[in-house]
Amino acid sequence: MLRSIKMSTIGLAFVVVLLGVCVWLAATNPTTDDYGAFLEVMLGQALDRMQQADSPREHAEIRNLLRSQGKQIIKSVVRPNTVRHNYGLFSVFKTRVLEFRLEVVGVGNQFFPGEDVEEISRKLGQLMLAPSR
């Protein structure tokens, strides 16, 4: 009987911990606004990389514009072309703009891109420079 009580206590503790983790994941499931902030960081990294490379003067002007207006550009260009699939404990964000494709899993207020972060930064930089070509 003591063994049975011990096993049920361990099982109950496991269920409580599992429910706690599920509640935490649901509470920290990233929103579309969180995804926009993530893309702003990625854009900043792309701009930093472009600034390190030698580029024509017009690209420097575009970089400065993107630095000052990046948030608005993400709101007006990227967000309308993003679909969020909310699975309760995590979300999958799919962005498609022109030839730019990005899939990111958001869980626990963290983002995990399907691609290398360097590749995403490069693509995001190219996307933002596309109208200047």
Query: What integer pLDDT is reported at residue 106 of this predicted model?
Result: 95
Amino acid code (one letter) for 93: F
For position 124, what pLDDT does the model report? 67
Nearest to 38 by CA among 27, 46, 61: 46
Q: How far is residue 57's CA from residue 66's CA, in Å, rounded to a whole number?
A: 14
Structure tokens belonging to residue 32:
């579309």
Residue ranges in the chain whose pLDDT is less than 70: 1-7, 50-63, 65-66, 117, 121-133
Show the tokens assigned to 109. Answer: 């207020």
Residue 132 confidence (pLDDT): 46
**Model pLDDT, residue 133:** 42
pLDDT of residue 72: 78
Q: Which residues are 97's β-sheet partners? A: 100
For the chain, what are the domain ranges?
29-132
- Which residue is associated with the tokens 């799919």? 94
d(CA 132, CA 55): 13
Q: What is the DSSP letter of 54?
A: -
Give the model's pLDDT for residue 108: 92
